[in-house]
Amino acid sequence: MKPEEPILCDPEDWANIQKVLAGDFESFEQLVLKYEAMVYSQAKKAFRNEAEAEDFTQDVFLKAFEGLSTFRGKSKFSTWIFSIARNEIIRRYRKEHPEIDAPVDTLSSGKLGDNFSSQESEVLEKETTEKIRSLVDKLPELYRKPISLHYFENMSYKDISENLNLKMNTLKSYIFRGKEILRDWLKKDDEHGKR
């Protein structure tokens, strides 16, 4: 019999993954909180647009969630999620620019934004920001305050947790949940036109 390959995944991550696979979906949030910033920074380099980078980050974690049963622990979870993000960036770029077979180094060096004029990018970003601001205003206060402080006031999680007297995990959970609500609203906006 072949000996089992060792699990190279971080033990805490591996334990959370096993819980998710056993039906405890809340445990996936721990993985999101831990690796969200890494995926987001990669997306920000590629898209140069905060809203798009945030949506992309959510999509990557959704893909990871859907494919979690295929993760065997033969690498770190961060490596696995990073490769999902990278492949997704390449896929999107090729879809938008079929005439270019994008080399990977272009993607990670953040040159994708150059295809838009800076004026177009500014208008697009302004519209997106205004739309998101108006949706954030409709959130329950529990989520609205942390999200506003983090994304519009550029406050760090540490400052917000002190400011609102919240534990770090509670704060991250509020921001995560608030973003999920926003994402659902934006998705419905796309499906049904304007709210």
**Average confidence score pLDDT of the chain:** 78
Nearest to 92 by CA among 142, 45, 36, 46: 46
pLDDT over 50 at 19, yes or no: yes
pLDDT digits (tens, 9 = 90+) for 86-100: 888 888 777 775 654
CB distance 35 to 71 below 8 Å: no
Least confident of 3-17, 108-122, 144-158: 108-122
pLDDT of residue 134: 82
Average pLDDT over residues 19-28: 92
pLDDT band of 107, cuts 50, 70, 90: very low
Rounded Cα–Cα distance for residues 61 and 49 (Å): 18
* pTM for the structure as a whole: 0.50
pLDDT of residue 188: 76
Average pLDDT over residues 3-14: 81
Rounded Cα–Cα distance for residues 19 and 179 (Å): 23
Could you give the residue ranges of the DSSP H alpha helices within 48-147?
50-66, 77-96, 104-108, 118-138, 141-147
pLDDT digits (tens, 9 = 90+) for 44-69: 888 778 888 888 999 999 999 999 99
